[in-house]
Amino acid sequence: MSRRGLLIVLSGPSGCGKGTVVGKLLTARNDVCVSVSCTTRAPREGEREGVHYFYKSREQFADMIRDNAFLEYAEYSGNYYGTPKAWVEERLADGMHVILEIDVQGGQNIMRLCPDAVSVFLLPPSVDVLKARLVGRCTESTEVVQQRMDAAVWELSQADTYHYQVINDDLETTVAEINAIIDREQIY
Ligand code: 5GP
């Protein structure tokens, strides 16, 4: 039987580049997969059901909470996000390392529930860079960008509750650092 995979929590403020980093990690290694969360937020242009998220109504999400289908869930900027429990458990049992790309509340919940989880906080090079990325993405209204900046300030203050902090300045360096963390942690 293969050994159990690592549960890897990856957090960082919206716009810090988590999605791009995870995409690179998935291409770089075949022992890593990413959990696809459920959300009540509407799909952004170009996002696909089952690839970026499973899009749920608030009622469907509430039913899943009731059925205990989430490893964790949280409200973020007025929408709900949750990690499907069964899928993650199956992959870990198969020996795959599972990345959870989740917000800080969710990350801290996972650290409490799963003490073996490895947590990585991705930092933007600066708050100005973060704002520029959020505005440049052009997928959210000015009000939502402001909400996300407010959330980011609190999230950044929580970075040291994670095992590792990685500054996402140069993408290749960031991916190499996270690769090294996975290799080091899987030895234990
Ligand atoms: P976005 O709307 O930008 O896709 O995601 C907003 C925030 O929710 C991001 O910080 C993202 O990492 C987080 N998020 C995505 N999926 C989950 C989840 O399943 N649980 C939690 N707690 N946060 C999530």
Q: Tens digits of per-residue pLDDT, 66-120? A: 999 999 999 988 999 999 999 999 999 999 999 999 999 999 999 999 999 999 9
159 class by beta-carbon count within 10 Å (0-12 exposed, 13-18 middle, 19+ buried): middle
> What was the pLDDT predicted at 76?
86
Q: Which residues line ligand 1 (CB under 6 A)?
A: 14, 18, 37, 41, 72-74, 76, 81-83, 101-103, 105-106
> What was the pLDDT predicted at 149?
86
Helix (H) / strand (E) element for 129: namely helix 127-137
> What was the pLDDT predicted at 124?
92
> What was the pLDDT predicted at 142?
81
DSSP output for 104-116: HHHHHHHHHH-TT
Domain 7-187, CATH class in plain words:
alpha beta
Residue 47, number of CB atoms within 10 A of its CB: 14
Atom of ligand 1 nearest to the CA of 13: 10
What pTM, to 2 d.p., does this model score? Answer: 0.89
Separation between Cα atoms, residue 92 and residue 98, nearest integer Å: 7
> What was the pLDDT predicted at 20?
93
How many angstroms does the Cα of residue 12 sit away from the middle of ligand 1?
A: 10
> What was the pLDDT predicted at 138?
65
96: its two tokens: 């795959």
CB contact at 8 A, 81 and 73:
yes
Residues of the chain with confidence (pLDDT) below 50: 1
Separation between Cα atoms, residue 35 and residue 117, nearest integer Å: 14
User: Using CA positions, which residue lies closest to atom 12 of ligand 1?
Assistant: 102
> What was the pLDDT predicted at 145?
81
Question: Which residues have a Cβ under 8 Å from the Cβ of 177 and sit 6 or more positions away?
Answer: 166
Tell which one of 34, 80, 101 to mutate to probe ligand 1, the residue whose CB is within 8 A of the most ligand atoms: 101
